[in-house]
Amino acid sequence: MIYKVVTKYNKIDVADMITGLFKFSIVPMFIINEYTFNIGIELILVLVSVFITMLIAVAEYKPEYQAVKTFFNWILVFLGVLIFIFAFKGFFSHVSDAKEVIFWKKITLEFLLISHFPLLVFLQIANYYEQILIRIKIKSKLTNKFIGKIKVLMILFKNCKFNKTKLENALSKVKKNRIVSFQQLDNMLDENNTSDLSYFQ
């Protein structure tokens, strides 16, 4: 479910998250959590996945890189399938674990997955912030320095906070306009500001 939220942050809502936690997670996620790679390999896979996701975000912005975007999407699919197959292979190799009480205690804990909901919401919001930062960086130098990134994040939080609709609108505006100053960004995201920003495009 975390993978789905990260890769489809703009196409998933709260209901999807809650449904997904129970629909796909109870048994499959238990198996994947229990019978998967060691921590070293998992960390590498996470880093690779994050890096590929960032490349996809950049490729999405430039039409000439659509083939690259498709290629990296398939790599992510391959990684997901690889993890799934490896986990279930490990489960069937240790199917006798089902005879142990500890096995059933662990799987019962999976019903507490609803507690992951705040994390999913956070990841979705964080992805919006990240995508907006990436697109601003592509079109301007505002985020080249650390202090610039902080200022942009503060402006985003001031105008959007954790509101998905506002963040979606902000992302759309950033895609369409070239941001040349922090004030312009603030004015553009301010819902009470109706000035025309098309000349910045």
What does the alpha-carbon distance between residue 4 and residue 2 come to, in Å, rounded to a whole number?
5
- Taking only the tens place, the pLDDT of each residue in 82-97 is 877 877 787 777 767 7
What is the residue whose two structure tokens read 């490896």? 86
pLDDT of residue 194: 52
Look over the chain and give the mean of its residue pLDDT values, rounded to a whole number.
76
pLDDT of residue 154: 93
pTM of the model as a whole: 0.50
- Taking only the tens place, the pLDDT of each residue in 15-65 is 666 666 665 556 666 666 666 666 777 778 778 888 888 888 777 777 777
What does the alpha-carbon distance between residue 32 and residue 27 come to, in Å, rounded to a whole number?
9
Question: What average pLDDT does range 77-82 have in this prediction?
Answer: 83
Q: For residue 199, is pLDDT > 50?
A: no
Question: What average pLDDT does range 115-142 have in this prediction?
Answer: 82
What would you report as the CA-atom Rg of the chain, rounded to the nearest whole angstrom?
20
Range from 89-98, 110-119, 128-137, 169-178 carrying the lowest mean pLDDT: 110-119
What does the alpha-carbon distance between residue 173 and residue 188 come to, in Å, rounded to a whole number?
8
Q: How confident is the model at residue 107 (pLDDT cuts 50, 70, 90)?
A: low
Q: For residue 121, is pLDDT > 90?
A: no
Q: For residue 66, is pLDDT > 50?
A: yes
How many whole angstroms from its chain centre is CA 9? 6
**What's the half-sphere exposure (Cβ side, CA atoms, 13 Å) at 175?**
13
Long-range contacts of 180-187 (CB under 8 A, 24+ apart): 180/140, 181/142, 182/142, 182/151, 182/152, 182/155, 185/136, 185/142, 185/152, 185/155, 186/155, 186/158, 186/159
